[in-house]
A and B are shown apart, each in its own frame.
Chain A
Amino acid sequence: MRSPPIEDLWSVLLMLCTQMELGSNSDDSKSTFCLVDEDHTFANAIRYTLNQDPRVTYCGYSIPHPSFNQVNIRVQTTEDPAKEVFKDGCMELMLMCRHVRISFDHALTQFKNNKTN
């Protein structure tokens, strides 16, 4: 059995909720997003796109404990809701990926054409 045994309440809780947002009720421009089943791969990439967003005053991430399969991403904005800015960051990253894929396919066909000619 590869998955770790469920021992405490915390891990049960984590398994039940996939993602959650911790913010304050009065001020929605600051939030911490907990992503389960993610690691540096996604967190560092999204940190980059968020920091590129002029509305973001602070963005960082941490992995609270290496045994938990979870990252916390902190986003603070000038005034827009952190959740919306965070989603925009994801969208930006998605568009970048799509563009990378298109450029890669293009370069590949070009390379193959040059080779056959």
Chain B
Amino acid sequence: MSEEDESMGEQSDNESGLDFILSLDDVPSKIPPHLELFKTRVLCNSDAPIHTDTIHYAGAYAVLGVDNSQQFDSFRKNFKVEVKRLTDSDMEFDMIGIDPAIANAFRRILISEVPTMAIERVYIANNTSVVQDEVLSHRLGLIPIRVDPRLFEYPDNAGDDNNERNTIVFGLHVRCQVGQPRITVKSEKLKWLPNGSELPCEDVKPNTSSKPKTFTSFTCSQNSLPGFPSNSIDLTDSDIILAKLGPGQEIELEAHAVKGIGRTHAKWSPVATAWYRMLPEVVLLEDIVDEQAEELVNKCQPNVFDIEDIGKGKRRATVARPRNCTLCRECIRGGKEWEDRISIRRVKHHFIFCIESTGALPPEVLFTEAVKILEDKCERVITEFS
């Protein structure tokens, strides 16, 4: 029996010599704890954070006999997402076990590559307000529109063909009557025109019976298209101030929204902002008791520490809410002895990711879209090089 076992063992050793070597007792399968600490944590010292880099190279620990390459299986085993907060406009979630390179790609894509609709062309028929045409147009451009950009196509490069598939038209006509008090024009005054532009783009000849040509060529009303909201395309906020009109002043214009990405102009960015931070980790290197514990709790503005009773009238500081830590490092100020008591760290592969949507899409959909965009990029590169 034992002979059989041995011969089988030998056979598999021959097939994969490396595995055999790695299974030996004196060959480490893990890097030493101090290196593991430097690899997975940023140490936030009182002067500066250290070990901020991530170690990517597969052979980084080859001299120790440890393989640093990450296989997809281990990524799949360790990766975890935990949603912490979710509302209509913002969300916070933890992304655990992912490299900053990938997390940052998601963040960058969210800010500059997920498409939305925004007002791009403004045709001003009349503007006698104090706000200049170009300033007014700029303000209109920045208004977030609550519409799913996936229903639309990008405009063609020449920009001639404005149809129901790539343009949303809003009309605005406000007038302050003479003798009336000044009025404030808010974004609610922008009215969606599902049938397209109503402004003639050429001089109307007096005796033509046909309809004058407008700035868009819609073949049907956007109301009737599948997937579109049946009632109305709204703006996210109806109370954005666009201009103020004095008696006798008037604004009449038409605004055309098209699909675009944040890299071209920030008005197309679907997020107010998207950011992440690494998970804070606060470690008490020695027991902090009595007056010192009190001092510590009072020093910490974000309220990370608590005090617990440990019997015999003694009290000890504990780390109760490390997530609150803002890295102010106030707790390790006050001399070498405090630096030796507390270690403030950040977990390198644990991201607290926050997304604030401007309203075009809910934040969770935005994140999924961002991941899809990165996938598409990979796919594009693979096909290009095949």
| Given A91-B378, A103-B81, A106-B81, CB of A19 within 8 Å of CB of B385 | yes
Could you tell me if A47 and B384 are in contact, using CB atoms closer than 8 angstroms?
no
Could you tell me if A44 and B101 are in contact, using CB atoms closer than 8 angstroms?
yes
Report A25-42 CB contacts with B as 1/0, cut-off 8 Å.
Answer: 000000001010011111
Among the listed A52, A87, A98, A108, which residue makes an inter-chain contact with B385, where contact means beta carbons less than 8 Å apart?
A87
How far is B82's CA from A110's CA once the two chains are assembled, in angstroms?
9
Q: Distance in Å from the Cβ of A41 to the closest Cβ of chain B? A: 4
Q: Distance in Å from the Cβ of A51 to the closest Cβ of chain B? A: 4
Q: B150 in the interface, Cβ–Cβ < 8 Å?
A: no
Report B57-93 CB contacts with A as 1/0, cut-off 8 Å.
Answer: 1110000000111101001100111110010000001
Could you tell me if A48 and B101 are in contact, using CB atoms closer than 8 angstroms?
yes
Could you tell me if B377 and A42 are in contact, using CB atoms closer than 8 angstroms?
yes
How far is B72's CA from A13's CA once the two chains are assembled, in angstroms?
38
Q: B109 in the interface, Cβ–Cβ < 8 Å?
A: yes
Q: B372 in the interface, Cβ–Cβ < 8 Å?
A: yes
The stretch from B210-218, B282-290, B363-371 touching chain A is B363-371
Could you tell me if B378 and A94 are in contact, using CB atoms closer than 8 angstroms?
yes
State the interface size on chain B (CB cutoff 8 A). Answer: 45
How far is B104's CA from A116's CA once the two chains are assembled, in angstroms?
32
Among the listed A33, A35, A53, A97, which residue makes an inter-chain contact with B374, where contact means beta carbons less than 8 Å apart?
A97
Could you tell me if B367 and A52 are in contact, using CB atoms closer than 8 angstroms?
no
Could you tell me if A104 and B72 are in contact, using CB atoms closer than 8 angstroms?
no
Among the listed B56, B113, B375, B377, which residue makes an inter-chain contact with A51, where contact means beta carbons less than 8 Å apart?
B56
- Can you report 8 residue pairs joining A to B where beta carbons are below 8 Å apart? A41-B109, A42-B105, A44-B101, A83-B385, A97-B378, A101-B368, A104-B81, A108-B86
Other A-B pairs, 19, CB within 8 Å; known A46-B378, A56-B58, A93-B102: A19-B385, A40-B108, A41-B109, A41-B113, A52-B70, A54-B58, A83-B385, A87-B385, A90-B379, A90-B381, A94-B378, A96-B72, A96-B75, A97-B102, A99-B79, A101-B368, A101-B372, A101-B375, A108-B83
Which 10 pairs show the lowest CB-CB distances between chains A and B? Answer: A48-B101, A111-B83, A51-B56, A107-B81, A94-B378, A45-B105, A19-B384, A90-B378, A41-B108, A54-B58
